[in-house]
Structure formats: structure tokens, C-alpha cells
Amino acid sequence: MSAHETMNLKLIVWRQAGPNQPGRFETYEAKNITPHHSFLEMLDVVNEDLIKAGQEPIAFDHDCREGICGMCSAVVNGVPHGGQQRTTLCQLHMRKFKDGDAIYLEPWRARAFPILRDLVVDRSALDKLIQTAGFVSCHTGGVPDGNAVLVGKPQADYAMDAAECIGCGACVAACPNSAAMLFAGAKVSQLAELPQGQVEAPQRVAAMVQAMADNGFGNCSNHYECEAACPKGIKVKFIARMNREFIKALALEKVGAVNTARLKSE
Amino acid sequence: MILDGKAPTGRIQDTWDKHRFDSLKLVNPANKRKYKILVVGTGLAGGSAAATLAELGYQVEAFAYQDSPRRAHSIAAQGGINAAKAYPNDGDSIYRLFYDTIKGGDFRAREADVWRLAQVSNNIIDQCVAQGVPFARDYAGYLDNRSFGGAQVSRTFFARGQTGQQLLLGAYSALSRQIGLGAVKMFPRTEMLDLVVVDGEAKGITVRDLVTGELRTHVGDAVVLATGGYVNVFYLSTNAMGCSVTANWKAHKKGAYFANPCYTQIHPTCIPQAGDYQSKLTLMSESLRNDGRIWVPKKKEDCNKAPNDIPEEDRDYYLERKYPSFGNLAPRDIASRAAKEQCDEGRGVGPGGRGVYLDFSASIKRLGEGTIRERYGNLFEMYERITDENAYQRPMRIYPAPHYSMGGLWVDYNLQSNVPGLFVLGEANFSVHGANRLGASALMQGLADGYFVIPYTIANYLAQTKPGKVKADHPECLKSVADVKATRDQLLAVNGKKTVTEFMREVGTLMWNDVGMARSEKSLTDALQKLPAIREEFWQNVKVSGSGEELNQQLENAGRTADFIEFAELLTRDALHRKESCGGHFRVESQYPDGEAMRDDANFAYSAAWESKGVGKDPELHKEPLKFENVHLAVRSYK
Ligand SMILES: Cc1cc2nc3c(=O)[nH]c(=O)nc-3n(C[C@H](O)[C@H](O)[C@H](O)COP(=O)(O)OP(=O)(O)OC[C@H]3O[C@@H](n4cnc5c(N)ncnc54)[C@H](O)[C@@H]3O)c2cc1C
Ligand code: FES
């Protein structure tokens, strides 16, 4: 499609007025959309039309609109973030669609993510995982010089690959079990790879695994949908790493009986 | 009134250490838990402050409008963070970082504050490394550095093209740890809509729960604002959609002075605007200028040609030509203005002729595509996603865009505003960047303020106040909730014809055209005439549907837009009063024959702090004179 053509699309959108209220699909039209519109700018156009027509605009989460804050979140035609590789919804552009397309739009669906309104969900369960153990327990001040502990380039790069996670929750939404293994695995792997995080690695992985169960996330059964949906290309190898770290922790007897059963089932 | 920043005097090298010992009182460990501190904002500045204050034993409540503290706009910073480590052995030092920052800011910042920033910069890197921030390393395992604009040394630490993300996740992890321990109570999806001042001191905030719509006051012994910058006043900017002046503006209306609002930074390397529907502009990190060369065609008739068909001799590498010693790494204000000049002369490229090329072909030839990919791969990907163009094969097109606000609430050396008990950190304050911020220095400032300054300076205030003085049923609290509710109801009651976005676009366009990169007496006077009319129309014709007692994003935006419209007047007024060019503030009447900015130190070597007198009334100007005892006032030259 050339840059000057415009398209009209049909949107079939999940509308829900609030938490615990019934929801339903409603159909809207998106008119005069150019290939350069981002997906969210297309939604802006639809919302402006709705407001002018005296209807409630579609609520959706977004902030940076450059693929880094992890705020945007919607399932497009069954795929979180719309299915363009390594691309968040806000970075998806309408040139990926064509005139007359019908687009289904739904919120993340997972037990751990209650719907707040329309496409907006509550992802605080992910924060809870980090609050439990996703850190190095250092206080401000009194730390050694940045170059005092060397970190090999491969280790730094590996940690960075894991740390690129934006915490959007697409992995959970994509997983048939609503597991947060990719999210947690990335954090566990990042910190276990760096000397600064190694001291607490066994306790961290044990606590993280427990916290996943406590916060309503399911188990991993190796579907790898999470990796496919991840807009940052976080790899499932970090789940494998978390499992290895967990077994190491078991050997060190840092893990309670609950988690032993959990891991063995996988 | 003449304002006093209470900066310590004496040998600059000793100021911070001496001040901490001589002038700052301590709160003893057992007493700390009696004090409650409200921290608004959990970006680099607020997140690091909340975590550190909780570690020290204070009770902390923290607030953010996003659904998680990890999503503050600090997350978007790409290029890096400065520190005076001098690891590359290239002549860097605390003194040089101090000097570069004062000069880069065009001599409009307080020396002692800048010195302190440079001094603690090194601790920041150590702290982040300890948290597990995966900074780039060389093959021997040492921290790697790159260069940024306005410096001739390599002092910028980075984590691929996502430095802000990694630093914020570090601060977020420290904050999360304190939340998990129960030392910080975190309130996400909560927006501050008023500051509560009791007997002249800041003792609380009134917030709206963005999910339920509940309005309530939180009281505390001190309030810390770390709510970021305001360049969304231009509508299109590199800031996130939710960034607003609201928290600062509400505090301003409750007595806090707003300093230098006209100092706004226009970043030279952003993806040009593609159409009217556009909702934001995307930055391409300045670090790209390390390996990219900026040019436009020498001849107007070449502007529509494919860039690779334009021979070398027909290209004008204007930054290298005009500023041979800094070249493509000239400071941001200079690089932005130079780009505008080329485009104004009709030599711009791309839609509407609003773009210049940033060309990597020479670096790719020299270093190989692999190296460039490793350094900037994610930026090239982002560029392609947005423009559908491959920058390995064809130069990027870039254009300046509003990016950062150097102005902000006025604070003294202790980061305390003129309202006792109100502290302001990070981009929200005006403190260290003068009239122009150097690249990679905002992350440094945010973390310096949060980790290493506020923990000391706030103690000095708390040590002199009794904890728990104000309760939530204090008349000022009740009045504050009633006021916020009245404004909310008014927004919902107008039921006019224009959407909030239409108003914001109108104000933003006016601000960009008349109060943007080049400002004149005429354009500013014009804007000052038009703004009150927009404000009045807004309150008669805005359309906000839904109710206040639910998640209502239009209502949120309406409130922010109303504040931006009022604030735009102050920004413009400040720009009009400052009849000189300095840093990001360029007055066309005040330039040298070669087009360089002309400062007027005799008349304007001061920070302008404005006191609100109410909406639609002239604010009162207070001046804080600036003294330069360590860096000599000189014409800022990058030639
Ligand atoms: C695209 C981009 C790239 C950048 N790259 C760099 C770089 O490479 N190096 C560098 O040094 N700087 C860079 N900067 C600048 C730097 O990122 C910011 O100046 C800095 O991160 C600001 O941090 P902060 O903590 O002050 O504010 P922010 O990170 O903006 O945080 C503001 C916080 O306040 C909260 N908040 C705001 N208003 C309210 C309210 N009313 N109620 C409740 N909460 C509120 C928000 O929720 C958020 O938590 C970049 C900026 C942008 C936009
Ligand atoms: S809006 Fe920030 S990642 Fe999409």
C-alpha cells in the first residue's frame, strides 16, 4: 500500500465497564487510517470519533509509545501485541493491515491479571514477584568501586539479554497456563549470572517460585508461546536457567517442600 | 525579592562535605520511623529517593500514575549516564564534569549544586553495579564508556540503548525490596492533584485513585516531588503520553516558585513528524552522533533525490563545518538550531522538508555493519518499525523535537522549595542544568538527588519539625479534597464540543510555533494574547464524558491539559522577559551576526523564580543572582 492511501477497518473490541462486571464485544469502525498510523494512533482516531458521538471511548493502557515502558497491552486477533516479531502494540504500525480487515481486540486474559476496564488489566502480581525476591539486597552507599568486581563481557551481555524484559505481561497472556516463568526466569537469570547477584541466587529462585504460586500464576508446560509473544525477544532458555538454579537451590536445601513438588511436575 | 539559594561558600571542592557536617542536622535512627515522607513519582529520582529513605528507617508512601513504579518515563532513556570516573584515562575529572556542566548550561546554574552532582556521580555508578545493572563491559570485564554531546572525554556509561531502563529497574528493585519489607507503601495508578500546605509548610497531598476515582488526602511530615518534566506542553515531544506539569503546577499554585520555565530542550535527533494524527515523537539517542554524520544537500534541488545518489561534494556536513572541534557532538541546543536553520533555508529532506540526514555509511565502512549493529541495533530496529526504512542502507532522517525541561520548581541547595517541607528532585526541579542540559546528565541528576542528596538534606528539615503534626481531618485537608472535587466536577459538567486532544493539540502547536526553537518579542507577545482565550474556551467547550467515580482516561487528560494551558502562559511570559539568548532559550533579537546565541550577563545572570498570584493574574518575579567564582563567565564556544 502506498503511503497516501487510507484504509477503513472493522474493530471488534472487548468492552467492560469495571472489575467484576460483565463484558461483551462491540463493533466499531476505524476510518481513514494511513499505513503510518501506529496501532494506538488508530485507536486514538476511533476514540475521538466515539467521544464526539457521545459514546465512551475505549480504555487502554499506554504511556511511552516507544516500546519500552511495558504499559501497552492488548490481544490483537488472538495474539498479544499483535504478532509482529519483537514489537509492542504501540510500535505496531497499520501498514501491517489492509483495507477492510476485521481486528479483534481483547485485554490480557489471565487469572493473575483481573480486568479493570475494557483493555486495561491489573498486573500488580508481576510487581509482587519482584517485591519478593527480584533484587540484590544492597543498601544505598558502602558498595565497592564499579570496576572492583570484573564482569566478563559474555556475562554482562547475557545478563542484559535477560534484563531487557519490559514487564508487560504478554508472556503470561500468551501462556495457556498463565505462567509467569519467562518473566521470573529472566530476572532470576540476570541476577544469577552477575557476581553481584550470585550470593543470594538460591534464596532468590526459591522465593520467586513460591511467589508465582502465591500470586495466581500457573505452571510451565513447555508451550513456548511466551517466547513467541515477547516483544523484547526474551528467550525460553531463561526458564531452563531458572529450573537449573532451582535444582541447585534444592541441593543447598534452600527450598521448601511445596516447590519441590512443583518443579518435579514439569 | 532577591532569593537566596543558600549554597555553601568557600573552596568549591569542600562545599558538600563541609555542608553535610556543619549545616545539616541528623535525625537519630530511633526517631526516623516516627516520620512519614510522601514521595510523588517513582522514576529515577523518586524511586531512588523512596528506596533510600525507607532503608534509612523513615516511613515512606510513594505514588505514581502508571500501574507500576517500573514504568516511569525514566525507562525510556536510551543513551547513557555520565560520571567522572575517568576510567578511560582521557583527562576527565570531577572538576571537568563540573566545568562542562556549567558551560553546557550556558552559565545559568548554581555552581555549588553542580559541583555536588559531579562529585557524587561516581557513587552512582558503583551503586548501580552493586544492584546488578548490566552496564556494557569490555572484554577484560571493565566498564565501557562512550562520548556524548558537549564533552571531549568519554564519560558515559551505558547498557546497550536502554540505559534508563536498566537504571530504573535497579532503582525499582531497591524500591520493591522496601515495599516487600513493608517500609514503603506504594500507590500506583494514583495521581497527585493538590499540595496541602498547613501554616506555610507542605504536609500532604490530595490524590485521585485512577481506578476507583476516589479522592483523598495523604498527610506526611514532608513531601518530595519527583514528577518529571513538562515538555508535553508542546503536545508532540519525546515524553510519554502521561507526562504532565500537573504535580508541579498544583504545588506552584500553592506557593512554590517556578524557576526558568522557558528553559526547554529541543533534542536534535528525533524521528521527524509524519502526519497530523501523530501522538508523540520518538527520540533516536544522541549516542548515534558518535558514529553518524549529519548532513543536508548543498543544493536545494537535491533535496528530493535519494540520499545515496547525492555525491560527497554536494553534501554539507554543516556541524563539522561550523563547529570543527566538536563536530557532530556539538551540544543539543546548538545542533538543533543548526538543523532548523538548514531546513529554513530550504535544504531539509523528507516530508515537508523538515529533516536532515544522520548517515552511518562512513562508520559502517570503517567498523563494519556488525559493530554498528551491536552498538545501536535496537535503535535501528525502532527506526525501521516507525519509518519502514533501513538505516544500514540509507541515512536516517532526523529533526529536533521537544525533549527535556531544564526549568522546574525552584529549590535551594538542600533541594527544598521556598515552601518548607516541600522538596523537589530530578527533572521536576530547576537545579543543575542551567539553560541547557548535556546528554547523559539527567539520569545522573535523578539518581544523585535520590540516592545521595535528599537522604541528607531532608533530615535537616525533619530534625526541626515534630512528627505527625497534621492529621487527615485537618481543615486544610478537607478543603483540598473539596477543591479538587470541584475542579473535577466542573470538567465533567462543561459537556462542550471539543475533545481534550483537540485543545492540547491547539496549545501545543501554538507553543511550538511561537515559543519553540526560535522566540521573538512578537511571537511571544502573540502567544500571550492567544493563550488566555484558549483557556477560557477550554472551560466552556471541552467535552469529557463518563463520571469521576471510575477509570476515566479522558478526565485524567482533561485535568492535565487544563494545567498545561495555564502553565503555557507562565512559560511564555518567562521567555518574553528573558531578553537574551542562552542555552535552549533562543531569542532571535539576541544573536551574533553568525547566528550564534548572544547571552546578556550584565542583565540576566540570574534564575527567574515566579510566584503565582492566581490564574489570569500576573505572577511576581523573584531573582536569584548567579555568581561564578570557579568557572569564568565566557562566551560559550564549541568551534
Ligand atoms: C526518550 C528519552 C530519552 C532520554 N535519554 C536520556 C539519556 O540517555 N541520558 C540522560 O541522562 N537522560 C535522558 N533522558 C532524560 C531523562 O530520562 C529524564 O530526565 C529523567 O529520567 C527524569 O527522571 P525523573 O525521575 O525526574 O522523572 P520521571 O522518570 O519522568 O518520573 C516521573 C514520575 O512521577 C510520576 N508522576 C508524574 N506526575 C504525577 C502526578 N501528578 N501524580 C503522581 N505521580 C506523578 C510518574 O508516575 C513517574 O513515576 C531521556 C528522556 C527521554 C524522554
Ligand atoms: S506504550 Fe510503552 S511499551 Fe507500549
Residue A266 has what pLDDT? 39
ipTM: 0.95
Residues in contact with B428: Cβ distance below 8 Å, sequence separation at least 6, in sequence order: B41, B45, B225, B226, B227, B228, B229, B247, B248, B408, B409
Q: Give B579's contacts (C-beta < 8 A, 6+ positions apart).
A: B521, B587, B589, B590, B600, B603, B604
Task: Among B402, B420, B451, identify where a domain stops.
Answer: B402
Question: Distance (Å, rounded) from C-alpha B118 to C-alpha A108?
Answer: 44
User: Between residues 95 and 134 of chain A, which touch chain B (CB distance below 8 Å)?
Assistant: 95, 116-117, 120, 122-124, 126-127, 130-132, 134
Query: If you write DSSP's letter for every residue of A158-221 in order, what string do you get?
Result: HHHHHHT-----HHHHH-TT-B-HHHHHHHHHHHHHSHHHHTTHHHHHHHHHHHHHHTT-B---
pLDDT score at A262: 46
B46 CB within 6 A, ligand 1: yes
B198 and B52 housed in the same domain = yes
Q: Could you report the per-residue pLDDT of B180-231, keeping only the tens digit for each?
A: 999 999 999 999 999 999 999 999 999 999 999 999 999 999 999 999 999 9
B520 with B611, same domain: the answer is yes
How many angstroms separate the CA atoms of B145 and B92, rounded? 12
Residue B192 in any domain: the answer is yes
Q: What is the pLDDT of residue A4?
A: 59
- Residues B455, B575: one domain? no
A263 pLDDT higher than 60: no
B297 with B398, same domain: the answer is yes
B277 lies in the same domain as B129? no
Residues 181-210, chain A, touching B (beta carbon < 8 A): 190-191, 194, 196-197
Q: Is residue B57 part of a domain?
A: yes
The verdict on B33 and B175 lying in the same domain is yes
Rounded to the nearest 10°, the torsion over CA A104, A108, A111, A115 is: -90
The pLDDT assigned to B103 comes to 95
Choosing from B462, B495, B511, the residue where a domain stops is B462
**Chain B: nearest CA to A253, how far in angstroms?**
23
CATH number of the domain within which B313 lies: 3.90.700.10
Per-residue pLDDT reduced to its tens digit, A39-88: 999 999 999 999 999 999 999 999 999 999 999 999 999 999 999 999 99
Contact B127 A140 (CB under 8 A): yes
- Is residue B542 in some structural domain? yes
CA distance B566 to B11: 42
Least distant ligand from the CA of A88: 2
Domains of chain A (ranges plus CATH)?
A: 7-117 (3.10.20.30), 124-265 (1.10.1060.10)
User: Does a structural domain hold residue B145?
Assistant: no
Residue B544: inside a domain, yes or no? Answer: yes
Domain co-membership, B113 together with B183: yes
Q: How far is the CA of A12 from the centre of ligand 2 (A)?
A: 22
H or E segment at A246?
Answer: helix A237-251
Mark whether B120 and B237 lie in a shared domain: yes
Disruptive mutation site among B155, B385, B454, B503 for chain A (greatest number of A CBs within 10 Å): B385
Interface contact B62, partner A, CB < 8 A? no
DSSP B452: I
Residues whose CB is less than 8 angstroms from the CB of residue A28 and which lie 6 or more positions away in sequence, other chains included: A10, A11, A13, A46, A49, A50, A58
Residue A63 in contact with ligand 2 by CB distance below 6 A = yes
B62, part of any domain: yes
Nearest CA to ligand 1 atom 52: B77
Grid cell of B512 as nine digits: 511550538
Q: Are residues B413 and B510 in the same domain?
A: no
Round to whole Å and give the CA distance between B251 and B255. 7
Mean pLDDT over each residue of chain B, to the nearest integer: 96
Ligand 2 center to B391 CA (angstroms) = 23
Counting ligands in written order, which one lies closest to the CA of residue B67? Answer: 1
Nearest CA in chain A to B166: A163
Instruction: Say yes or no for a CB contact (<8 Å) between A124 and B70.
Output: no
Strand partners, B258: B409, B610
What's the CA gap between B560 and B503, in Å, rounded? Answer: 11
Name the residue range of residue B355's domain.
267-402
Residue B470 lies in a domain: no
The CATH number of residue B524's host domain is 1.20.58.100
B259 vs B431: CA distance, rounded Å: 9
- Are B200 and B61 in a shared domain? yes
Which H or E element spans position B54?
helix B44-56
Q: How far is CA B131 from the centre of its chain?
A: 24
* Residues B36 and B70 placed together within one structural domain of the fold: yes
Q: Helix A257-264 vs helix A237-251: angle between axes, to the nearest 10 degrees?
A: 140
Q: Is the CB of A68 under 6 A from ligand 2?
A: yes
Boundary (domain end) residue, out of B437, B462, B487? B462
Give me the pLDDT at residue A1, please. Answer: 43
Set of cell numbers at residue B208: 485521585
Q: pLDDT value at position A256?
A: 62
CATH of the domain at B182: 3.50.50.60
**How many separate domains does chain B show?**
3
- b/e per residue, A79-114, with b = 16+ CB within 10 A? bbbbebeebbbbbbbbeebeeeeebbbbbbebebbe
Residues 6+ apart with CB under 8 A from B612: B252, B253, B255, B258, B619
Cα–Cα distance, B210 to B551 (Å, whole number): 6
Nearest CA distance, A60 vs chain B (angstrom): 9
- Reported as a single tens digit per residue, the pLDDT across A100-137 is 999 999 999 999 999 999 999 999 999 999 999 999 99
Question: Which regions of B160-200 does DSSP assign to beta strands (E)?
Answer: 184-187, 190-198
Residue B509 cell numbers, joined: 502547536
Q: Of A60, A72, A108, which is best to mutate to test ligand 2, by the most ligand atoms within 8 angstroms of its C-beta?
A: A72
* Geometric angle at alpha carbon A197, from A193 and A199, rounded to 5°: 110
Residue B1 lies in a domain: no
Residues B377 and B409 in one domain: no
pTM of the predicted protein model: 0.97
- Write out residues in chain B with pLDDT < 70, as ranges: none
Q: Chain B: give the shortest CA distance to residue A158, in Å.
A: 9
Residue range A23-31: mean pLDDT, rounded:
98
